[in-house]
């Protein structure tokens, strides 16, 4: 309940501040956000973070599946095994079309 109340308070505050700022301020913030998002340093940092996240998620998948083993229902164990078999050689590649830049 506390989280819901905090969320609603934040939503109300954002609405009030947004309506007071007006359309011009909104467009200015949007332009600044777009400029930051298109910055090559920001894009490289975001891609590096995403790549590291995929690596750690792959390691966590193998660690958890090794430790949990047969104590998991078959409906959960089968997809995990198929993922492990698909990347069994330690590769961290995915089929999301991401680059390593």
pLDDT of residue 13: 83
Place 11 in a pLDDT band, splitting at 50, 70 and 90. Answer: confident
Domain count, the chain: 2
Classify residue 43: in a domain, yes or no. Answer: no
pTM (whole model) above 0.85 = no
Percent residues over pLDDT 70 in the chain: 81
Q: What is the pLDDT of residues 21-67, one digit of tens each?
A: 777 877 887 898 899 989 999 999 999 999 999 899 888 877 877 77
Residue 35 CA to residue 38 CA, distance in Å, equals 5
Same domain membership, residue 59 and residue 32: no
Residue 88 CA to residue 62 CA, distance in Å, equals 9
Classify residue 100: in a domain, yes or no. Answer: no
Q: Which domain holds residue 71?
A: 53-95
């Amino acid at each position: 309940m506390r989280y819901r109340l905090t969320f609603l308070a934040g939503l109300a505050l954002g609405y009030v501040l947004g309506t007071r700022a007006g359309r011009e301020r909104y467009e200015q913030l949007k332009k600044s956000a777009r400029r930051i998002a298109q910055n090559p340093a920001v894009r490289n940092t975001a891609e590096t973070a995403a790549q590291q996240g995929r690596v750690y998620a792959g390691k966590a998948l193998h660690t958890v599946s090794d430790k949990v083993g047969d104590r998991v229902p078959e409906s959960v164990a089968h997809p995990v095994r198929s993922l492990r078999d698909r990347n069994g050689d330690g590769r961290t590649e995915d089929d999301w079309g991401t680059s390593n830049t």
